Chain A
Amino acid sequence: MSEAVIAVALVWVAASGTAVVLTRDPLCQAFVAGFFGLGLAFLYLSLQAGDVALSQIVVGAIALPLIVLLSLAKVGKDRG
């Protein structure tokens, strides 16, 4: 049972990690990177590393997308 959960988590991380690299538009990439971060958190949780999973959620799902989105808004505003 736990092996199935770990397998799902590993496939999710591999697929979404590849998707982050293949996404060309930075705005879409921020969202895809968020899903990648969520997959990593799920992987850590399935390996029973609860503390690391929480850190991954707060950094990968809150801090990183916020900074990317605000930077993109700044760049877009100065150009437009």
Chain B
Amino acid sequence: MNAAPLSSRRPLACWLAFAWLALLAGAGLLAPWLPLPYAAATPDLLHVAAPPSWAGTGHYLGTDPLGRDVLAGLLAGARRLLLLSLPATALATTVGALAGAAAGFWGNRHLRLPLAAVAAALAVAWWGLALPGPVVLYIILALAGLLSLLQWRGPRAAAPWLMITLPLDSLVLGLTTLLGSVPRLILLVAVLAGPPLTQPQLLGVFTVVAWPETARLVRAQMLRVRAQPFIEAARASGLPTGRIWWHHALPHACRPLLAYAPLSLAGLISLESALAFLGIGQGPDVVSWGGLLASVRQDPTVWWVAAGPGIALLVTLLALQKIANSARYSGSS
């Protein structure tokens, strides 16, 4: 990307972006203890679609066509970002980074597991799923014991038939392709078509939808890092492979995430707001910025309902983009 049109006044804009996000985080964290006259989800049926006023009703930013206070809704939406979008991005980034880095580092042919461990895992799975036929379970267990005995007795790094290669790269790439075959919004619409999910379930769904992008990015970076001389040096000095991966390769492969994680958060926030705007997968008592924006459609004259959440959402997304840009330039220079 070309830096020239964006480089002017970068520090100030970046500080403003951080300040806005800090304000948002503070407001979201303190939302339950702030002295607001109205709760976010309870409608005030005496003042439906009331314009903003500083005197009298106490609806400082007005109410929406359902009678919900806009200021309280803004704070509740900020809290929702803090409790749902942020943890989901963190989880998805972690999962994606680990999966992508493993896939890029070991590829399809280099992760070799001892056959005994595979047999043991199979036995545990058999027992856990309560599959029929205890005889089969005993046979697998006996096989695992025999294999581990052979492995233990035999000389080190010998007997290639005792090892099995796991095609990690194909597995991760296949999963990302599968999840990428449907647009994220449509996949979420389909999954959330059921009854409203609880908070941990929502977190899981958002994580599943968001991790493939990160995994693809980290995998591509890891392919570059793997070929660097310092990895070769680490191998030559006899470090175990897992240690090389964790201590030497992973930190370098995760460098682009510094710039990508804010963008990923922005993507999840706009995805979640779009879902709330469509009214899918939300309990009736959940207030979010997207939900507030949706209530404008019932009455297009109430501009104050659209202005608050709309500006808050836009400024948040622009701030995240600003931070991602400055992280990218400071990372590349």
Q: Do chains A and B interact in one complex?
A: no
By a beta-carbon cutoff of 8 Å, the part of chain A in contact with chain B is none
